[in-house]
Amino acid sequence: MHALNETKLPLLNWMMGGEAGYGVFTSGLIFSKCLSRGGYHTFSYKEYPSLIRGGHQSYQVAASHDEIFSQYKELDMLVALDELSIKMHRAEIKRNCAIMYDPKRVSNARALVKRNDILLVPIPLEKIARDVSGSPLLKNTVAIGASCALLHYGLSAFEGIMKDVFGHKGEHVVNENIRSAQHGYDYASLHFAKRFPKHLSPQKRGRTLMNITGNEAVAFGALQAGCTFYAAYPMTPASSLLSVMASHELEYGVVVKHAEDEIAVINMAIGAAHAGARAMVGTAGGGFCLMTEGLGLAGMTETPIVIFIGQRGGPSTGLPTWTSQGDLKFALSASQDDFPRIVYAPGDMRELFYLTHEALNIAERFQTPVMILSDTYLAESHKSEIFFDTTHLSVERGHILNAQEVAEIQRKAVKNRKFSPQDLPFKRYRFTSDPVSPRLLPGTKGGVFLANSDEHDEYGSTNEESKNRTGMMDKRRKKFLALQKEFPAPSWYGSRDAEVTVIAWGSTKLPALEALKHLPLTKANLLHFNRLSPLPFEKTMDALAKIKKAILIEGNQSGQFKNYLYEQTGFKPDQLLTKYNGRPFWPEEIVEKII
């Protein structure tokens, strides 16, 4: 693999591995927060099997002075809570890597690693935890303290985090964790700290950083946008989105429903949106399969809903806890026949926040279903971010008629007729110069109409006449074309004059940006797509015309976006780099392809 620019590598690439159910993720996040509160940018990536309990899992943290966009393959420090962690990750260990382990759990680490250019750090993690608390459960906390000691990184940030994380459990629990970490710190300082070459110290930074997952960013974007109804059936990787929304239910006045299945989920949301709620649902590819009939209903009735789809490996149950970009074609053509299918594919946590907000606005402004494509990698990874600026955001609900407006419309409609306005049905799907008909909410006086899954006339009544059918199809199509003109161009990163352009969509933006750090400015740049349907045709063509040589990267087998881009524009990349083993791209893989 091509050698990376050593000056652009993270200052630290740390991993904790162990059996599922023993706090690996909580401990990893705490360590990540220690570094980010000390002024470092971090990116955290986790892996775990599709098991209720047991199996191997890992939590990886990369830290840097500057913004870091993805994980790296080679490790500087591995905290191995069992032998399997060493066996599974020994190929990722770089020269001078420190491997921390408990001799009680790992009997012959040197033989497992089969190398002499690494630092073995045997620490009696369980014994120290028992001596402090009477229980071995705090061994992970001991390991965090020992990790900080190897780095010469103090525990002041750790103490504050313990109060935030465990404060609700009482001062005793907080103090036990602090003392356990301190004992681990002291042990490692005494025996190993002088032998590990990497040192970190807290940095002064003007702005506070937060550690946030993609799903948290989506939830906060939805809440900021005034979402008042969220429904889901738990399905990885969208499950945590339900938890976050539920935790803020009372604070933000949002109704959160854990339904019996995905069919109920989308139909609940359609009903809520019809009644006037800002409605959103969350699922994965398998759950979205069950939602497609409801998606068509929302398209026919012009009901605004947002559908979050966390992609994972398929088909069928597939890879429940691993990542994929394999649902693009599915989202672009879900349900039958033609109607506006609006598809977003945010590339990072910041885009997830802002584009979720935008999606809720677009759904209501254009009275249409909108889909947000994420994936396991983006949904569950943590990235340090400055706090999102919300001062420029506004809630846009489109034209919702009030009773006075309805009365005036009806008065004009019954002029010179022998019945009163309240006896006349309302033209909910009125043909106007604007393809988006003014809508009203149930209960509005004088606003009686039918919401009908059959093709219908302006009142919503079933109508199969050819002229009406053509008019309604064209009306819905015009919304799609109007949004196509409104959507911005894909985003450029790096020099416009670069020799090679990496084309990415969705989450592949993250490792692609990290890869660019290791290449000269004139060598490569990135063109990223996060609004996929409708594709802004003219703006996309202008961007593609500037490319000298293109490498398109995506996380599926067939090159779904490559094929879609060709279908829409006639553009063919010079090379295609795909990955479909359930893992995200490493920056190293992208650099190697470009070189």
pTM exceeds cut of 0.75: yes
**Of 335, 370, 386, which residue constitutes the final position of a domain?**
386
Place of tokens 């309302």: 426
* Burial class, 189, CB count within 10 angstroms (exposed 0-12 / middle 13-18 / buried 19+): middle
Answer yes or no: do 139 and 35 share one domain.
yes
- Quote the CA–CA distance of 42 and 32 in Å, as a whole number: 7
Burial class (CB within 10 angstroms; exposed 0-12, middle 13-18, buried 19+) of 303: buried
Contacts of 239 (CB under 8 A, 6+ apart): 232
Q: Mean pLDDT over residues 92-118, rounded?
A: 94
Same structural domain for residues 22 and 139?
A: yes
Q: How confident is the model at residue 53 (pLDDT cuts 50, 70, 90)?
A: confident
CATH of the domain at 174: 3.40.920.10
Same domain for 246 and 180: no
Question: Which domain does 523 fall in, by range?
Answer: 491-594
Query: Cα dist. 386→283, 342, 397 in Å?
Result: 28, 29, 28
Number of domains in the chain: 3
pLDDT above 50: residue 1 = no
Residue 275 lies in a domain: yes
Tell whether 32 is covered by a domain.
yes
Pair (151, 247) in one structural domain = no
State whether 234 and 375 are in the same domain: yes
Taking 70 as the threshold, does the pLDDT of residue 108 lie above it?
Answer: yes
Same-domain pairing of 115 and 16: yes
Average pLDDT over residues 321-346: 98
Q: What is the pLDDT of residue 220?
A: 98
Looking at the structure, tell me whether residues 337 and 188 fall in a common domain.
Answer: no
Comparing CA positions, the residue from 465, 462, 530, 444 lying closest to residue 492 is: 530
In a domain, 347, yes or no: yes
pLDDT exceeds cutoff 60 at 419: no
* 93 and 147 assigned to the same domain: yes
Any domain includes 434: no
Residues 192 and 327 in one domain: no
Same domain, 258 and 375: yes
**Which CATH number is 381's domain given?**
3.40.50.970
30 and 86 housed in the same domain: yes
- Would you call the peptide bond into 237 cis, given omega within 30 degrees of 0 as the criterion? yes
The CATH number linked to 554 is 3.40.50.920
Distance separating alpha carbons of residues 140 and 162, to the nearest angstrom? 13
Specify the pLDDT at position 411. 82
Percent of the chain at pLDDT exceeding 70: 98
Average pLDDT, integer, range 137-161? 96
Write down which residue in 175, 206, 237 finishes a domain. 206
pLDDT at 422: 56
Sequence-separated (6 or more) residues with CB below 8 Å from residue 324: 285, 311, 312, 313, 314, 318, 375, 376, 555, 556, 580, 582
- Structure confidence at residue 74 as a pLDDT band (50, 70, 90): very high
The verdict on residue 278 lying in a domain is yes
Round the average pLDDT of the chain to a whole number and report it: 95
Q: What is the pLDDT of residues 234-279, one digit of tens each?
A: 999 999 999 999 999 999 999 999 999 999 999 999 999 999 999 9
The pLDDT of 566-574, averaged and rounded, is 98
Q: Which two tokens stand for residue 402?
A: 């009030």
Q: Give the model's confidence band at 54: pLDDT under 50 very low, under 70 low, under 90 confident, else very high.
A: confident
Residue 562 has pLDDT above 80, yes or no: yes
Task: Among 333, 357, 386, give the residue marking a domain's end.
Answer: 386
Do 208 and 157 touch, CB atoms closer than 8 A?
A: no
